[in-house]
Structure 1
Amino acid sequence: MNLLATWQVRIQQQVLLLFIGLCLTSLFVIQIAMAAVVNKTVTITTQEWPPYQINHGNYHSGFAIEALDCVMKRLEQPYKIIFLPWGRAQHDVKTNVYDGFFAASQNNHRDTYAKLSNTFIEQKWQFFLAKDFITPLDAESIKTNVEFGSRLHSNTSYWLNKNGYKVIYETTNLDELIPLLQKKRIGAIMENSLLFQVAIDRAGIPISEFNVVNNIEKPLGVYFGDQFLKQNPQFLDAFNQHTQACRFTSN
């Protein structure tokens, strides 16, 4: 056999081996994805939180609802959303009543009993101060001089307290905080920018009545309970394979 023929045989063998390898890899990925689909309806708790999650009774809508539905459809995974007060929504996953909760951003307390998926839902935190509130509008001055109101059981409250801000009032309802800010009973609210905009639109208040200072981006995902993941160890990896394709951004 001449040199050219020898090289042709070797190339054919390498192509065949590459083809077989690709086929085996594809089969392996398919088997993992199939094994990761849970053989039951996955239960996920949430809160009424427009524009992310809105309960219309017989159907749900919102940016986070649509992003989650996109992932679950790609997984072909049956699931059910349960609307609850936010504190209970998280606690019932901690006690293994339900499988997960969303839309949620990372904090260390949640990490003790659940694991966060890839974050794939945009969230930006901003400081909102009354327009005539007299303080320099930089982060350090706001931290030192301003007293905050915040939502109970929210990650915004957790973050403010953890980072040494002065939180003097907490309630479950953002609609209750906004009049307090207007009356200067509190100095500021740190909140999800989209959530705050929807709340003031609902109240008929223009954003021009507030000083707005950017803080940080804190994207959202789904927390799945440790007990659920212990019983379904491949589910989170399969879920995370589809988050990029289902990402929500406001841009």
Structure 2
Amino acid sequence: MLASLLLSLTVAQPFQLGTNLPINAPHNAINHVECIFKQINVPFKLQKLPWLRAKREVQLNRLDGYFTANLLSQMQEYGELSAPMFLENWYWFTHADSASIAEHDLRYGVVRGSHQADWYQLSNRKIEVEVNTTQELIKVFKKQRVDRILLDLEEFEFNAVQLQIKPDEYTQTFYRYVPLGLFAANKTLKEFPDFLSAFNSHISNCSQSPFVLSKIEKLTLVNVLFEQIKQLANSDNVQQAVMKSNRQPLAQQDLDQLDNQWAQQVRDNTPILAERYLKLEGSQFLQVWQKQMQGVITEIIVTDKQGKNVIISEVTTDYWQGDEAKFLNMYQQDDDYYIDTVEFDESTKHFQVQFSVPIFDEKSQHIGVLILGVDIEKALSK
């Protein structure tokens, strides 16, 4: 219904979108947007524009949107950003020789017109050097004309290889994830109020790959959290709750029925079953433990060996975890942990991963799985 309505209203004048990406060359972001607009059956035209020009055109109501964009405070009144299509993983790269320099005396370099340049402007950072490409910036950095640069980790590593630079020559410090999406102008959203929700609903269908943590980030996450998580898995409250649940197995038909009932209640905003679980002594123990983690942990689920919920710290969307990767991978591989793909929580605007570890009894028998939602930015910042 929405797609046909949009088509009938815009077929004569397709959506006008700006991008600073090469239009004629294959590019993942352009392919992604093309796929989404095809899915919602809406025609559009691309204009190659510098970011400053694209923003200006949106402000003047001459453009329906632009991509890939991040949400800047100066643009909030002019439109709305879609759910993330891509994640940029921003890291600070600093010369070892610059470690002793005071923050306000550091010399920064940036690619002209980049998202980092926008951020520098908003944060009043002193820019020593502006260049046109990432490779130029890394060359300037290598020659120590600047002390520190801020780049997407994958982009830095790719260009460092091209320039025969070892990425580990410099101090790398995680800064933040930056969600990139389509910025839709107010005039577009006013005319088509359901456009952005339709666009967002097809992002995952058109994505070529999920958001995944780098090897460095996974290692950092393990170093920060693994020991504490193992201690939680071995705690009396968790052990007793799991062993009790394993003594009461359910037939698959009963599991499916409970799972459907639980999920429907959550969708109806009447989570009676889930709230009953939240009142259990073991669940209250998890809630206290989670609170002590100062926002790094967003939820905790303890399952038995069937994958059904035993105790929980938050209302979960479903009761049975037995068919999901966060459970299955703990039974189908011998690793000590499993870290799932990165997910974006639209309601909180936070990124999280599911961190799973097996639960063993005192005889080293695998009796369940401990699954934690981790606010990845807070965890990596530690």
Taking structure 1 as the reference length, the TM-score comes to 0.71
Q: Structure 2: any 5+ residue segments left out of the alignment? A: 213-382
**Within 5 Å, which residues of 2 pair with 1:54-93?**
54-55=22-23, 57=24, 60-93=25-58
How many angstroms apart in 1 are the aligned matches of 2:43 and 2:172? 41
> Is the alpha carbon distance of 1:81 and 1:214 closer, same or farther for their aligned partners in structure 2, counting shifts above 3 Å?
same
How many angstroms apart in 1 are the aligned matches of 2:148 and 2:190? 41
| Matched length | 208
Matched, 1:133 2:97: yes
Matched, 1:41 2:14: yes
Quick check: 177-186 or 202-211, which moved more? 202-211
**Within 5 Å, which residues of 2 pair with 1:68-217?**
68-130=33-95, 132-135=96-99, 143-144=103-104, 146-163=106-123, 165-217=125-177
Equivalent position SS for 1:179: helix
Quick check: 156-165 or 117-126, which moved more? 156-165
How many angstroms apart in 2 are the aligned matches of 1:112 and 1:241? 23
Please say if residues 93 and 100 of structure 1, whose CA atoms lie closer than 8 Å, have aligned partners that are also in contact.
yes
Equivalent position SS for 2:16: strand
Please say if residues 129 and 210 of structure 1, whose CA atoms lie closer than 8 Å, have aligned partners that are also in contact.
yes
Q: 2:187 aligns with which of 227, 234, 246?
A: 227
How many angstroms apart in 1 are the aligned matches of 2:45 and 2:163? 32
Please say if residues 107 and 128 of structure 2, whose CA atoms lie closer than 8 Å, have aligned partners that are also in contact.
yes
> Is the alpha carbon distance of 1:206 and 1:61 closer, same or farther for their aligned partners in structure 2, counting shifts above 3 Å?
farther
Q: What residue identity is the alignment partner of 1:68? A: V
Q: CA deviation at 1:77?
A: 1.7
How many angstroms apart in 2 are the aligned matches of 1:142 and 1:45? 39
Equivalent position SS for 1:200: helix
Q: What residue identity is the alignment partner of 2:4? A: M
Please say if residues 128 and 211 of structure 1, whose CA atoms lie closer than 8 Å, have aligned partners that are also in contact.
yes
Point out which structure has higher relative CO (alpha carbons under 8 A, 6+ apart): 1
How many angstroms apart in 1 are the aligned matches of 2:180 and 2:137? 23
> Is the alpha carbon distance of 1:172 and 1:63 closer, same or farther for their aligned partners in structure 2, counting shifts above 3 Å?
same
Please say if residues 113 and 226 of structure 1, whose CA atoms lie closer than 8 Å, have aligned partners that are also in contact.
yes
Q: CA deviation at 1:231?
A: 2.9
**Aligned-residue RMSD, C-alpha:** 2.6
Query: Deviation per CA, 1:13-71, whole angstroms, max 9, x where unpaired?
Result: xxxxxxxxxxxxxxxxxx234324433322211113xxxxx44x3xx322212221221
Query: Deviation per CA, 1:87-108, whole angstroms, max 9, x where unpaired?
Result: 2232223223322110011111
> Is the alpha carbon distance of 1:162 and 1:116 closer, same or farther for their aligned partners in structure 2, counting shifts above 3 Å?
same
Q: What residue identity is the alignment partner of 1:65? A: I
Quick check: 145-154 or 103-112, which moved more? 145-154
> Is the alpha carbon distance of 1:203 and 1:97 closer, same or farther for their aligned partners in structure 2, counting shifts above 3 Å?
farther
Please say if residues 147 and 166 of structure 1, whose CA atoms lie closer than 8 Å, have aligned partners that are also in contact.
yes
Identity of aligned residues (%): 25
Dislocated runs of 4+, deviation >6 Å: none
> Is the alpha carbon distance of 1:110 and 1:171 closer, same or farther for their aligned partners in structure 2, counting shifts above 3 Å?
farther
Q: What residue identity is the alignment partner of 1:70? A: C
Which residue of 1 is the match for residue 202 of structure 2?
242
How many angstroms apart in 2 are the aligned matches of 1:240 and 1:169? 37
Which residue of 2 is the match for residue 10 of structure 1?
none
How many angstroms apart in 1 are the aligned matches of 2:61 and 2:54? 11
Equivalent position SS for 2:179: coil
> Is the alpha carbon distance of 1:226 and 1:202 closer, same or farther for their aligned partners in structure 2, counting shifts above 3 Å?
farther
How many angstroms apart in 1 are the aligned matches of 2:105 and 2:94? 12
Please say if residues 143 and 166 of structure 1, whose CA atoms lie closer than 8 Å, have aligned partners that are also in contact.
no
**Within 5 Å, which residues of 2 pair with 1:15-54?**
31-37=1-7, 38-39=10-11, 40-48=13-21, 54=22
> Is the alpha carbon distance of 1:159 and 1:116 closer, same or farther for their aligned partners in structure 2, counting shifts above 3 Å?
same
Q: What residue identity is the alignment partner of 1:221? A: G
